[in-house]
Amino acid sequence: MRIGSLDILSIHDGTAKIPATEALRFVGPSDDPWAPHKQFLTEAGELELAMGGFLVRTGDRVVLIDTGVGSINRPPFVGGAFLDSLRAVGVTPEDITDVCFTHLHFDHVGWATQKGQIVFANATYRCHRADWAHFVDGEDPGSARKLAPIADRMEFWENDGVLFPGVSVTGAPGHTPGSTIVVISDGGEQAMLLGDVVHCPIELVEDDWEAIFDVDPALARRTREALARELEGKAIPVAAAHFPGLRFGRLLPGEARRSWVY
């Protein structure tokens, strides 16, 4: 995806195939809420979630937004391809200057460290302070162990604003306390990287869906609904770390329901 003079590259790490009812739930009245959305399911009725992140070069910075699930190979989560995907676009771990996390769930910080070692040795790491407080300073020993090696490299944002030229952040809480949308903009154009505000485009098409993994489901729903209203009918391409193929799409208005197009 090209936005002005900036390229956003999808960096694949792997996939997870999860029974649809264990990933998303429909909270409105319907006999078969998945019937209009079979295109998002496998033949076995699973939701196939991409794992990975995005790469943006801006000025002298080489920025990663999220780092996939890591070297995990425990179905349904199968990762391990992130560094190879970077090399395929001519980037080494040493080239990365900045790593920005949309939030700190394990499948977004997988390549921050491996076996206690920092993977992107020259990078500054960034996330919303509320997520660090929740996952690392809170009661999640797994996150604390995983992210401890980068603690002295962390910088935090607390408010919406510009991180670097062309890269800004806007809070979108609910999935996690510090869940964030990253906005890439240049030359009057913009695109949004949604993190896990949305796991599947279906959550933008209809309001009556929620992710089972949301920390605060009610707040997450309000955030998604506001996002859908903002995007509906506009020419803003959006992608998320679990969208099929990490592809960008757009949300179109409709009488009965919105529609999603790639």
Question: Looking at the 3D structure of the chain, how many domains does it have?
Answer: 1
Residues of the chain where predicted confidence (pLDDT) is lower than 50 = none
Tell me the CATH number at 21: 3.60.15.10
Residue corresponding to tokens 């729903």: 221
H/E element, 88: helix 82-88
Helix (H/G/I), strand (E/B), else coil: 11: strand
Neighbours of 134 (CB within 10 A): 19
Predicted structure pTM score? 0.95
pLDDT tens figures, 181-219: 999 999 999 999 999 999 999 999 999 998 888 999 999
Q: What is the pLDDT of residue 31?
A: 80
Report which DSSP code applies to 101.
-
Neighbours of 152 (CB within 10 A): 7
Closest CA to 55 of 8, 107, 2, 111: 8
Q: What is the pLDDT of residue 138?
A: 85
Which amino acid is residue 29, in one-letter code? P
- The parent domain of residue 251 ranges over 2-261
Q: What is the pLDDT of residue 20?
A: 87
Q: What is the pLDDT of residue 256?
A: 72
The Cα–Cα gap between 183 and 187 comes to 13
Strands (E), 66-171: 73-74, 77-78, 98-100, 113-114, 117-118, 124-128, 154-157, 161-164, 167-171
Q: What is the pLDDT of residue 205?
A: 92
The Cα–Cα gap between 93 and 72 comes to 19
